[in-house]
Amino acid sequence: MNDQGKYRPLSYFQLMEISLRELLVEKGILTNEQVDAEVEDMRQRTPERGAKVVARAWTDSDFRKRLLENGTKACEELGLDIPALKLVVVENTPEVHNAIVCTLCSCYPRMLLGIPPDWYKSRNYRSRMVREPRAVLAEFGLKFPEHVQIRVHDSSADMRYMVLPMRPAGTEGWTEERLAGLVNRDSMIGVAVPKGPND
């Protein structure tokens, strides 16, 4: 794909991927077009999708309710198909701050946030986020008073999680599109909070 530029020997896993792909194509199990379509589909999955869901929840309280009840079904309303996975949306409030981790591997709501950042998959984040979440959040620049409950979600099995952050003050009357621009990937993992015009 983007192989232009300097020659570098292939890594073990790159070689394995190419070999397996060529074998599957050669044996007629897959076509190159199918592989390309899948890669393209993966590229389309970016945090903007999640931001759209958040902005809708901020502007439509009935949607917000449906989203918290059944994340998968509510996303279908926005034309976002989340095949065979159950999405659980957890809501930040002045009393509760949520954060997501997968201690066992790197489960992540890819259909809404795209490819996970490397730190999400690191041993450091995965082990410390459950054990000392406040210290990890502080490293991301977030500090909470003791009375705010920190709720860590370990995606240890079949569900996937997304944080619904709090709508920043000073954004009254904003359009969904403008609001979506405030929502980044990290705020939907729970290691950041969206900043409004007053922040």
Partner 1 sequence: MNAPRFKPGDRVKVLKAYPPGHIRTPFYIRGCTGEIERICGAFPNPEELALMRTGLPAQPLYRVRFLQKDVWPGYSGGPGDVVEVEIFQHWLDPA
Catalytic residue among 11, 19, 102, 155: 102
Kindly state the smallest distance separating residue 112's Cβ from partner 1, in Å.
Answer: 18
Size (the chain), residues: 199
Kindly state the smallest distance separating residue 38's Cβ from partner 1, in Å.
Answer: 23
138 in Cβ contact with 106 (< 8 Å): no
Whether 107 is catalytic: yes
- What are the residue ranges of helices labelled H in the chain? 12-26, 32-44, 47-59, 61-69, 71-77, 110-113, 118-121, 123-131, 133-139, 176-180, 185-189
Whether 105 is catalytic: yes
Kindly state the smallest distance separating residue 87's Cβ from partner 1, in Å.
Answer: 11
Q: Which two tokens stand for residue 185?
A: 């990937």
Which one, 1 or 157, has the nearer CB to partner 1? 157
Kindly state the smallest distance separating residue 196's Cβ from partner 1, in Å.
Answer: 25
112 in Cβ contact with 53 (< 8 Å): yes
Whether 75 is catalytic: no
User: Could you give the C-alpha distances from 33 to 14, 78, 111, 177, in angstroms and in order?
Assistant: 19, 27, 21, 34
Which one, 45 or 86, has the nearer CB to partner 1? 86
Which one, 67 or 182, has the nearer CB to partner 1? 67
**Which positions touch partner 1 (CB under 8 A)?**
86, 88, 103-104, 130-134, 144, 146-159
What CA–CA distance (Å, rounded) separates 11 from 54?
Answer: 39
Which one, 131 or 195, has the nearer CB to partner 1? 131
Kindly state the smallest distance separating residue 182's Cβ from partner 1, in Å.
Answer: 27
Catalytic residue among 105, 122, 127, 156: 105
Which one, 80 or 130, has the nearer CB to partner 1? 130
Residues 128-159: b if buried by 16+ CB within 10 A, e if exposed: ebeeebeebbeebebeeeeeeebebbebeeee
Query: Which residues participate in catalysis according to the annotation?
Result: 102, 105-107
